[in-house]
């Protein structure tokens, strides 16, 4: 790829191109500055010990199990509705600043009795957060491509809206592997109820060594029958039986896929299941020893459908443009390869034909610019 001084130029180019993010967990994408601010407030109230928490937030290398301990901490810091709305707004702004034009944001609806929070009110807070973004246009409706946060604007604001950039957002509701069948079913029912607010699918995530596939299967089957798209964290740890069962379910996408063997890959190839690749996340959680050994290389060579994603921008201190740069630098991709990779992602979005059409227009412009 590029030599010496061109590194900065390639990084900036990766930042400047439009990108599609399909695997990002809301609470994994909280800004460090926001986490520290929230921790300080809880520290002052005596709910947590700020010094301990600060140390954990600032720590860089984390094992997979340490990540899940940290998520529990994030969930303590971000429990009230106002904070959920705030972090949603900030996460959207951060992705937009990185030239992400379509974001499928996933989050686990949570009950928290002490805060008067139900799964439904949690999701309302997320949607309120999307609506509160005022620095750019946010389009998250399934039924139409109108820009959601334009509708309440005055005539003057309307002119501003036309000049601002637009980000298309869709939501996936996550089932946490700690949940019961009933809790998983509640999440699916909530997703169905919230379809008109941009909810397009279901994700299965959480600590991969917790829970059993059979617990989630009834809810996932129901989601599929009702026309929701399903993506699964699959093969984040070695678990041959579960990987096979997941592939037999034929999800519309899988995330990570670090521990698939030859037969599993053959099945994924025949079924053409797109893979959400999270390079930095896999490296930082020690799913592999060095990045050049990542299965991205074989999948890319074999033209397997794949999309580069961040997983948790906050937790892993990364951005989507950083993931594109990392792939380019590690696997020798040039600008044409990178733009093709970014453009291919259009085919794997859960958002439907209207938004795909809009994205084809955006990426077509970038391809023309590159050709000039």
Please say which residue, 25 or 294, places its beta carbon nearer to ligand 6MZ: 25
If binding is defined by CB under 6 A, does position 129 make contact with ligand 6MZ? no
If binding is defined by CB under 6 A, does position 107 make contact with ligand 6MZ? yes
Give the SS3 label for residue 198: coil
If binding is defined by CB under 6 A, does position 85 make contact with ligand 6MZ? no
One character per residue 233-272, x = contact with ligand 6MZ (rule: CB under 6 A): x--x------------------------------------
Region for residue 33 given its phi and psi (left: phi exceeds 0; alpha: psi -120 to 50; beta: otherwise):
alpha
55 Cβ partners below 8 Å, 6+ apart? none
Q: Which listed residue (236, 242, 276, 323) is catalytic?
A: 236
Helix or strand (DSSP H, E) at 20: strand 19-25
| Helix spans in the chain (H) | 6-16, 32-44, 50-58, 64-77, 81-97, 119-131, 155-163, 181-193, 213-225, 240-249, 262-271, 279-284, 296-301, 320-331, 335-344, 353-371
Give the SS3 label for residue 154: coil
If binding is defined by CB under 6 A, does position 104 make contact with ligand 6MZ? no
**Is 242 designated active site?**
no
Report d(CA 223, CA 217) in Å as an integer. Answer: 10
Report d(CA 78, CA 82) in Å as an integer. Answer: 9
DSSP lists the bridge partners of residue 307 as 276
Please say which residue, 282 or 366, places its beta carbon nearer to ligand 6MZ: 282
Of 20-28, 90-98, 222-230, 357-365, the segment contacting ligand 6MZ by CB under 6 A is 20-28
If binding is defined by CB under 6 A, does position 28 make contact with ligand 6MZ? yes
CB 256 to ligand 6MZ: min, Å: 7
One character per residue 173-202, x = contact with ligand 6MZ (rule: CB under 6 A): -x-x--------------------------
CB 153 to ligand 6MZ: min, Å: 29
CB 154 to ligand 6MZ: min, Å: 33
Q: Give residues in contact with ligand 6MZ (CB under 6 A).
A: 25-28, 67, 71, 107-108, 174, 176, 205-206, 233, 236, 281, 285, 311-312
Report, as residue numbers or ranges, the catalytic residues.
236
């Amino acid at each position: 790829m590029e030599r010496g001084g061109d590194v900065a130029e390639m990084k900036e180019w990766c930042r400047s191109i439009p990108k599609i993010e399909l695997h990002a967990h809301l609470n994994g994408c909280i800004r460090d500055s926001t986490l520290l601010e929230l921790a300080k407030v809880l520290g002052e109230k005596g709910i947590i010990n700020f010094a301990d928490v600060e140390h954990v937030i600032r720590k860089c290398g984390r094992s997979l199990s340490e990540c899940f301990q940290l998520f529990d901490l994030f969930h303590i810091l971000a429990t009230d509705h106002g904070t959920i709305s705030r972090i949603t707004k900030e996460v959207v702004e951060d992705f937009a600043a990185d030239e992400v034009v379509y974001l499928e944001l996933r989050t686990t609806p949570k009950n928290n009795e002490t805060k008067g929070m139900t799964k439904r009110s949690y999701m309302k807070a997320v949607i309120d957060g999307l609506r509160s973004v005022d620095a750019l246009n946010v389009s998250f409706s399934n039924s139409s491509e109108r820009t959601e946060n334009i509708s309440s604007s005055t005539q003057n604001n309307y002119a501003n809206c036309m000049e601002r950039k637009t980000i298309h957002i869709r939501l996936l509701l996550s089932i946490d592997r700690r949940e019961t069948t009933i809790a998983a079913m509640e999440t699916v029912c909530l997703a169905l109820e919230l379809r008109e607010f941009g909810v397009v699918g279901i994700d299965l995530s959480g600590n991969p060594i917790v829970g059993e596939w059979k617990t989630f299967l009834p809810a996932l089957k129901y989601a599929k029958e009702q026309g929701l798209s399903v993506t699964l964290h699959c093969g984040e740890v070695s678990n041959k039986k579960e990987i096979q069962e997941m592939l037999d379910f034929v999800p519309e996408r899988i995330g990570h896929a670090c521990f698939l063997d030859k037969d599993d890959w053959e099945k994924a190839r025949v079924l053409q299941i797109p893979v959400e690749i999270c390079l930095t996340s896999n490296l930082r959680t020690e799913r592999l020893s060095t990045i050049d050994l990542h299965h991205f290389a074989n999948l890319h060579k074999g033209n397997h459908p794949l999309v580069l994603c961040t997983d948790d921008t906050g937790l892993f201190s990364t951005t989507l443009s950083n993931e594109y740069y990392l792939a380019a630098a590690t696997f020798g991709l040039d600008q044409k390869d990178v733009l093709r990779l970014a453009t291919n992602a259009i085919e794997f979005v859960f958002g439907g034909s209207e938004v795909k059409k809009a994205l084809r227009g955006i990426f077509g412009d970038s391809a023309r610019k590159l050709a000039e």
